[in-house]
């Protein structure tokens, strides 16, 4: 799905909420705008999610699941390799079209790259 914003859009609810220490986005359009902006502004941009645990709801007629894992973004900042990473928690909801992200919370744990991170 590398760089496929249409595929990404299908995974996110219209009213999804994404939160990190640097931003809060409400809605699919705001999320996609930020994602595309990062891809364009950051040469070599790469975002990787590693799922550590996914748990579907076990109640009858329950249409939610949770996911916990790590994430990592990397790119070149003025030619210097840069990596920002941490943990995330997501809530998914099933609708008639399948599973979609309802909300995500990101916590930044590491930042490497002197130009961007200051270290």
Q: Are 13 and 98 in contact (CB under 8 A)?
A: no
pLDDT at 65: 95
Q: Considering the domain delimited by 5-117, tell me its CATH architecture.
A: Roll (3.10)
Does 3 score more than 70 pLDDT? no
pLDDT at 74: 96
pLDDT at 36: 87
How does residue 119 score in pLDDT terms, banded at 50, 70 and 90? low
Contacts 24+ apart (CB under 8 A), 3-10: 3/39, 5/32, 5/35, 5/36, 8/32, 8/35, 10/97, 10/100
Give the predicted TM-score (pTM) of the model. 0.84
User: Could you report the per-residue pLDDT of 59-101, keeping only the tens digit for each?
Assistant: 888 899 999 999 999 999 999 999 999 999 999 999 888 899 9
Q: Are 87 and 64 in contact (CB under 8 A)?
A: no
Q: Once rounded to an integer, what is the mean pLDDT over residues 26-38? A: 89
Does 49 score more than 70 pLDDT? yes
The SS3 assignment for 114 reads: helix
């Amino acid at each position: 799905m590398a760089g496929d914003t249409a595929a990404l859009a299908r995974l996110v609810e219209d009213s999804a909420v994404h939160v990190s220490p640097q931003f809060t986005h409400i809605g699919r359009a705001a999320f996609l705008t930020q994602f595309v902006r990062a891809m364009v502004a950051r040469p070599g941009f790469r975002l990787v999610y590693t799922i550590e645990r996914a748990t579907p709801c076990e109640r009858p007629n329950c249409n939610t699941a949770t996911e916990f894992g790590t994430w990592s973004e990397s790119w070149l900042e003025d030619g210097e390799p840069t990596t920002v990473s941490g943990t995330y928690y997501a809530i998914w909801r099933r609708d008639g079209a399948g599973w979609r992200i309802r909300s995500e919370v990101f916590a930044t744990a590491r930042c490497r790259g002197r130009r961007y991170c200051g270290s």
